[in-house]
């Protein structure tokens, strides 16, 4: 059977619209990186789009569990979906339209979070991903982090071995509260592949300021992409995103 221009794959709670005719393909030993578009200081968004550059997504992921406003505009319609990119063999997942918890006690948030994350994780594993990274920011205003201590600006948590690297002295050995979706992707990935001792699941946390664009946080993510993931940021694209964010503000 010949494939149409747009090929769809439906899981339990997500619909995957493949926009690149070369996909889906399985790449054994593939790495995937997830980042949120609307986090405070937009450090993950600026750095992530610096990696993506002008590439078009290979897939758009739709779900009834996403938070999508009923109004949109033309031209340049806002995308009501997550977007998956192929960057030189590494998959980047751009997360938008997330349903935020209304309070720390909002257990109903799980109803929106779990189904789509479960299916998205399974999709990535089906594509051959065995190394998963989530990049996220942490507000210094409401945490024990010292914003003046640059040595502890980046923390890395290994979900497979349950080991925290970096930031220990700042946390003082205490616990760090995280909200969905940043921890849940890694948790699901680590547990689905619990039998696979070669798989890896890391959460990279960078402390950030609460106002404006935090260029220090952006640079930490750029360094992480380049030194750990061997991905080069497009400075011109990052400046373009900065200009858009500043104009909106």
For residue 1, what pLDDT is reported? Answer: 41
Tens digits of per-residue pLDDT, 99-132?
A: 888 887 888 888 888 999 999 999 999 999 999 9
Radius of gyration, CA atoms only, the chain: 18
Tens digits of per-residue pLDDT, 184-201?
A: 999 999 999 988 888 999
For residue 24, what pLDDT is reported? Answer: 87
Q: Is residue 54 classed as helix, strand or coil in its secondary structure? A: coil
Query: What's the chain's average pLDDT?
Result: 84
Return the minimum-mean-pLDDT range out of 29-38, 155-164, 222-231: 155-164
Which phi and psi angles does 194 have, rounded to 5°? -60, -30
Say yes or no to pLDDT of 147 above 80.
Answer: no
Average pLDDT over residues 83-95: 96
Helices (H) and strands (E) in the chain, counts: 6, 10
Average pLDDT over residues 158-175: 70
Return the minimum-mean-pLDDT range out of 6-20, 50-64, 105-119, 229-243: 6-20
Percent of the chain clearing pLDDT 90 (strictly above): 41
Average pLDDT over residues 87-98: 93
Give pTM, 2 decimals: 0.88
Of residues 213 and 158, more confidence is placed in 158
For residue 171, what pLDDT is reported? Answer: 55
For residue 72, what pLDDT is reported? Answer: 82
Buried b or exposed e, range 190-213, using 16+ CB within 10 angstroms: bebbeeeeebbbbbbbbbbbeeeb
Which phi and psi angles does 44 have, rounded to 5°? -70, -35
Average pLDDT over residues 4-23: 81
Say yes or no to pLDDT of 158 above 60.
Answer: yes
Average pLDDT over residues 32-47: 88
């Amino acid at each position: 059977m010949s494939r149409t221009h747009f090929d769809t794959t439906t899981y339990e709670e997500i619909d995957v619209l493949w926009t690149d005719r070369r996909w889906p393909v399985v790449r054994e030993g593939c790495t995937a990186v997830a980042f949120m578009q609307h986090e405070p200081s937009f450090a993950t968004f600026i750095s992530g789009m610096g990696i993506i550059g002008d590439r078009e997504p290979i897939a758009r992921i739709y779900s009834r569990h996403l938070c999508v406003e009923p109004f949109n505009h033309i031209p340049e319609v806002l995308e009501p979906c997550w977007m998956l990119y192929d960057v030189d063999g590494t998959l980047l997942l751009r997360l938008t339209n997330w349903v935020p918890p209304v309070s720390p006690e909002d257990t109903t948030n799980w109803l929106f979070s779990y189904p789509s994350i479960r299916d998205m994780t399974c999709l990535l594993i089906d594509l051959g991903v065995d190394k998963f990274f989530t990049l996220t920011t942490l507000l210094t205003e409401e945490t024990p982090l010292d914003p003046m201590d640059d040595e502890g600006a980046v923390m890395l948590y290994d979900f497979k071995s349950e080991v925290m690297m970096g930031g220990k002295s700042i946390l003082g050995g205490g616990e760090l509260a995280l909200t969905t979706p940043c921890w849940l992707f890694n948790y699901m990935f680590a547990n689905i592949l619990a039998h696979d001792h070669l798989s890896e699941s890391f959460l990279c946390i960078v402390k950030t300021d609460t106002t404006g664009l935090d260029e220090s946080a952006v640079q930490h993510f750029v360094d992480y992409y380049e030194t750990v993931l061997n991905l080069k940021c497009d400075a011109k694209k990052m400046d373009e995103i900065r200009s858009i964010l500043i104009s909106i503000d």
